[in-house]
Amino acid sequence: MNFSPAKWRRHFPLLAAHHELHYLDNAATGQTCAAALNAATAFDTQSRANVLRGTYRLAEQADAAYENARRQAAAYLNAAGSEEVVFTAGTTASINLVAHAFGEGLHAGDEVVLSLAEHHSNFVPWQMLRERRGVVLRLLPLTADGRIDLSRLGETLTPRCKLAAVTHASNVTGAVTGLAPIVAAARAVGARVLIDGAQAVQHGPVDVAALGADFYAFSGHKAFGPTGVGVLWGRGEALAALPPFLGGGGMIGRVTVEETTYAPPPRRFEAGTPPIAQAIGLGAALDWLRAQPWADMNAHTARLAQRLIDGLAVLRGLTFLGPRDLKERLPIVSFNLEGIHPHDACQVLDEYGVAVRGGHHCAQPLMDFFGVQGAVRASIAPYNDDADIDALLAGLQDAVRKLK
């Protein structure tokens, strides 16, 4: 295997400085790589200026760095061109953009298809759209282990469907969605497809051309980049068909007292001063990630996930949320210990230097499906190693002794 987690960990200053930390909350936020930190710092200390505002040298350098970040994001997604990349504040902002802009063209009775596995960021904006426009939300059901049930596509995606919005992978179960049948079913009725890629991008480059969707959203902080920045990729003709979401500077063609014309995408959707330094940092992170040995890295994280699942299986009173095997699954493992609240388990684990998350993980409809209020979640990244898994298992054994 041409990969060393210890060497990879050195690219993350926080982890390099805290050897005692067992960071297993990567589904919430990955640590920031040095490439992102260095690029953002270089902008702020050497070429900080606003974009699209100046004709002086510093401003031109800022423009060049910002647009280079757009090209880097496009390359990571295998987009047709950088004009298909819109910088936003993150996945939530990207989905809200589509819900408002695409939603403006919908009418009462039009249908939007979701699944029960969605994060609140891909659920609540569509409920809000239902309140504004009277659209109907239809839900793809789940199998017993929490995967989206593709056998019900035909009856769920009707000719009234205008958009299917589904997760690329669950932030609770790690289950990867079978997107090809969903895209095909949507195309058959003339519907658009939006994919929430927040959990997928940190596991290697994404080929949006191969996925066949119209929109793809992700956040920088989950892809080992800065917080406060994300990407909405949109197929060229799909973006061009959307009206703007926010109004202000930077997104206009011409403003008169009587009317305003709008810039073409992506500028149409980037009103005001964008997160320049953050976008530059994200571009650098994606460029660095694109060159990594992902086959070896994903084999490494899969091995750790299996080690964790095997270790958990011997604990008394433990139940898993989601698939027990690693087929079409990311290294995200959620579980409960009978009689122990997830928050209490997390506090005991913190005494062992283990950082995991407990709660409903912004997926309450999925928790309702499983019949629980929350769960403990461990999420693995390439910089994790066997010591992280061992510390987690040792801490859980102590939690059982102390709390049951």
pLDDT at 1: 62
Task: Write the DSSP string, 155-213.
Answer: HHS-TTEEEEEEESB-TTT-BBP-HHHHHHHHHHTT-EEEEE-TTTGGGS---HHHHT-
Strands, sheet with 230-234, edge to edge from the N-terminal-most edge strand:
85-88, 230-234, 215-219, 192-196, 161-167, 111-115, 136-140
pTM of the predicted structure, to 2 decimals:
0.97
3-state secondary structure (DSSP) of residue 374: coil
- Cα distance between residue 13 and residue 143, in whole Å: 41
What was the pLDDT predicted at 96? 98
Nearest one of 354, 333, 304 to 172, comparing CA atoms: 333
Catalytic site residue 33?
no
CA dist., res. 301 & res. 183, Å (int): 28
pLDDT in tens, the chain (404 residues): 679 999 999 999 999 999 999 999 999 999 999 999 999 999 999 999 999 978 999 999 999 999 999 999 999 999 999 999 999 999 999 999 999 999 999 999 999 999 999 999 999 999 999 999 999 999 999 999 999 999 989 999 999 999 999 999 999 999 999 999 999 999 999 999 999 999 999 999 999 999 999 999 999 999 999 999 999 999 999 999 999 999 999 999 999 999 999 999 999 999 999 999 999 999 999 999 999 999 999 999 999 999 999 999 999 899 999 999 999 999 999 999 999 999 999 999 999 999 999 999 999 999 999 999 999 999 999 999 999 999 999 999 999 998 87
Q: H/E element holding 223? A: none
Looking at the DSSP bridge assignments, the partners of residue 163 are: 112, 192
| Residue 372, H or E segment | none
106 within 8 A of 135, measured Cβ to Cβ: yes
Reduce the DSSP state of residue 254 to 3 states and report it: strand
- What is the structure's pLDDT at 404? 76
The domains located in the chain, with CATH, are 5-31+293-403 (3.90.1150.10), 36-290 (3.40.640.10)
Who contacts 368 (Cβ-Cβ below 8 Å, separation ≥6)? none
State both tokens at 117. 């596995």
- The four Cα atoms 149, 154, 160, 164 give a dihedral, to 10 degrees, of 30
Q: What φ, ψ does residue 167 adopt, rounded to 5°?
A: -75, 145
Paired tokens of 404: 């049951």
Distance between CA atoms of residues 87 and 89, nearest Å: 7
The CA-based angle 165-166-168, given to 5 degrees, is 140
Instruction: State phi, psi for 78 to the nearest 5 degrees.
Output: 55, 40
Q: DSSP assignment of 34-96, as one string? A: HHHHHHHHHHHHHS---TTS--SHHHHHHHHHHHHHHHHHHHHHT-S-GGGEEEESSHHHHHH
- Single out the residue of 122, 280, 260 nearest to residue 198, CA to CA: 122
Whether 133 and 106 have beta carbons less than 8 Å apart is answered as: yes
In angstroms, the CA 147 to CA 291 distance is 31
Separation of alpha carbons 211 and 168, rounded Å: 10
